[in-house]
Structure 1
Amino acid sequence: MRDLEVEARVRKLERRAGRWRWLLVATPVLLMAIVLAGRGFARLEVGIVPEIRTQRLIVLDQEGRKRVEIGEDAPDLDIKRNARVAGLIIFDGNEQERGGMVTADDGSATVALDAPRGVGYRVSDRAGMKVGADGSALIGVLSNAGGFAARLIAQGAEGQLEVSRVDSTEGRASTRVIHVEADSR
């Protein structure tokens, strides 16, 4: 009986030892799998940072030409504006400004699109929206001849639509103004 008891105890110890061996092999494998899985997930976010601080960001095309700029106007900028602006400016393939979305030092905010330099009137502005510091709003379209062709103006509690035409022979502009109460010329 003593031999049977010893034999049962030896089998029990062998099973326990087998489990410990399995655990000793499985634990490092499991830990390695966890580490590798963690690194795999981290790889999805390589290069992503929660915040970038800079004064100017310039995006170039494949030829190295400036196409988008996010920042504030440089103090020596050769484009004349009513006020210094900060925002997003877009450029064409010749690195000429073609529009943007900005806020200005005078308290206004503008979205604008420009004609290519040298096309039509000397000022390149052609279409835009502006909200003034006082909350007034303007949507305007300028002609290649210069001046507004159409403006939608909202100021205070009123709005008006202005449609203009420049007489090519006389150089004078005629404008039709549409109000809520009546039209005028």
Structure 2
Amino acid sequence: MGFSALRSGGPVMVPLLLLSIVVLSIGVERFRFWRRWGLGTHRQERQLLDVLQSTEVGVPRRSREALELGQLDAAMGQGEVVLEAATLIGPLLGLIGTVSGLMRILAELGPQLTLPSGGSVVGYGQVLVSTLMGLVVALIAATLLRINQGLRQSQRRRLELACLRGEPDAP
């Protein structure tokens, strides 16, 4: 999709382009987060258990577990709200671009809706570029969202089980 396709999508392509940059940035950040997290290792479980064991006397262990798990869950779920919003906003922005493009085309055709003499309908399909872009952004955002949610849920279960056992799983 070149510059001409972006231009033919109309002014709504600017927010769509910005939204796609945000979605891809979140995707890269989440990839880096999970890579640092160390999937398949027990580093996070050990760190959580170390924090729980160093809890001051008088602080209930369950309260401390809930607090620590909540903080880890928030870190694992970072960006999900934006990805969820992008799955909704992307297609809607695309539809706005398509509708405004169709309105422009209908105005050019005039009240009789006839092509100018020697005119062609070839360029009229370009009004759908913004819808395509919006759907692609939503698809990428939804994919990233579901992957992150799946990883977060599985890691949350592992951490909760480690808290119940009081030690990380054997490798």
For normalisation by structure 1, the TM-score amounts to: 0.22
Normalized per residue, which structure has more strand? 1
- TM-score normalised by the chain length of structure 2: 0.23
- Structure with greater helix percent: 2
